Amino acid sequence: MSRIAYVNGRYVPHRDGYVHIEDRGYQFADGCYEVVAISGDTFVDAGLHLKRLRRSLDALKIAFPMTDAALTVVMRELARRNMIREGFVYLQITRGVAPRDFAFPAKVKPSLVMTARTKTLIDPRLLSDGIKVITIPDIRWGRPDIKSVALLPNALGKEQAKQAGAVEAWQFDRDGNVTEGTSSNAWIVTKACEVVTRKANTDILNGVTRLGLLHVIAEAGLRFVERPFSVAEAKSAPEALQTSSTNFVLSVVRIDDTPIGDGKPGPVGQKLAKLYADYAASGAQDRT
């Protein structure tokens, strides 16, 4: 069966899913997106994803094309048509189609595109072996808290990581503090067994998996601290982690050429990965 996409009100074969050449997402990166994981019959924290999408669109003054309830119906139908039990739905909303001009066009209708794909969310090998990340300067624009489609710096960083044999690139600011990965949030575990991640302000994207893990950490009775940490502190930490909607929780066992701890996933990371997987599969986490 061929894949099915949703393009501006129509379910179409994936190969026929097109938008106009003057769509502002294509010409100006004038749009936002979300990636919602599917675990069994559950959209993991879909309510939080749609809330963040609305926040991002509001920041760019792009109209929301339909209600959350209607959008959820389309997501479920797209997952059904693609027979996805584990994977994700990608949704993108742009300002729409208009003659090319930097200023916002008047009375333009937003474009809504969705695709769905099967993907293993918990890779047993990555879970047992951990992953390597590299560190790179953060060269993104000043509002990475908006989940916009302007992802060229992220793509450049991801390619740099790939060429270095790493899974991810952790970005750092002018003070040498880690902001986040190119498609993930960054965490460390201190010697005092504190789970640390950077505060979600305008410097980083407030990841939905990040928010879910905060819930898991509280439920597990672990100590959580929200503060910056430097690349140097991360390299000397007993454990490091990353979170994302498409890989959940993974232990970082090497940063650049420095092994973290004993170079294997540590006990806190392993525990949190297991607890988050249970949380995602529970079907009880769809918070708003």
**Contact in structure between 116 and 78 (CB atoms under 8 Å):** yes
Q: At what angle do helices 208-220 and 46-59 cross, to 10 degrees?
A: 140
Intra-chain end-to-end CA distance of the chain, in Å: 34
Residue 2: what pLDDT? 80
Residues 192 and 241 in one domain: yes
Domain containing residue 128? 124-281
Q: For residue 283, is pLDDT > 90?
A: no
Q: In this prediction, what percent of the chain has a pLDDT beyond 90?
A: 95
Question: Between these two residues, 285 and 103, which has the higher pLDDT value?
Answer: 103
Q: What is the pLDDT of residue 251?
A: 98
Whether pLDDT at 287 is above 80: no
> Last residue of a domain, which of 100, 118, 136?
118
pLDDT the model gives residue 233: 98
Last residue of a domain, one of 118, 145, 175: 118
Question: What does the pLDDT read at residue 284?
Answer: 54
287 in any annotated domain? no
CATH number assigned to the domain comprising residue 129: 3.20.10.10
pLDDT band at 40 (very low <50, low <70, confident <90, very high): confident
Q: Strand pairing of 178-181 and 131-137? A: unpaired
**What's the confidence (pLDDT) of residue 1?**
59
Residues 178 and 58 in one domain: no
pLDDT at site 205? 97
pLDDT above 90: residue 285: no
Domain boundary among the residues 61, 85, 118 is at 118
**Rounded to whole angstroms, how far apart are CA atoms 285 and 224?**
20
Q: Is the pLDDT of residue 244 over 60?
A: yes
Q: Is the predicted pLDDT of residue 286 greater than 70, yes or no?
A: no
What is the rounded average pLDDT for all residues in the chain? 96
**217 and 146 share one domain:** yes
Residue 286 placed within a domain: no
Could you tell me if 91 and 149 lie in one domain? no
Tell me if residue 147 is catalytic: yes
pLDDT band at 288 (very low <50, low <70, confident <90, very high): very low
Read off the pLDDT of each residue in 130-156 and give the average, rounded to a whole number.
Answer: 98
Q: Read off φ and ψ for residue 264, nearest 5 degrees.
A: -130, 160
Flag whether 252 is in a domain.
yes
- Reduce the secondary structure of the chain to three states and give it as a string: CCCEEEECCEEEEHHHCCCCCCEHHHHHCCEEEEEEEEECCEECCHHHHHHHHHHHHHHCCCCCCCCHHHHHHHHHHHHHHCCCCEEEEEEEEECCECCCCCCCCCCCCCEEEEEEEECCCCCHHHHHHCEEEEEEECCCCCCCCCCECCCHHHHHHHHHHHHCCCCEEEEECCCCEEEEECCCEEEEECCCCEEEECCCCCCCCCCHHHHHHHHHHHHHCCEEEECCCEHHHHHHCCEEEEEECCCEEEEEEEECCEECCCCCCCHHHHHHHHHHHHHHHCCCCCCC
Q: Are residues 144 and 276 in the same domain?
A: yes
Say which residues have a Cβ less than 8 Å from residue 63's Cβ, sequence separation at least 6. 57, 110
Catalytic-labelled residue, pool 147, 158, 162, 274: 147
Residue with tokens 């819930």: 215
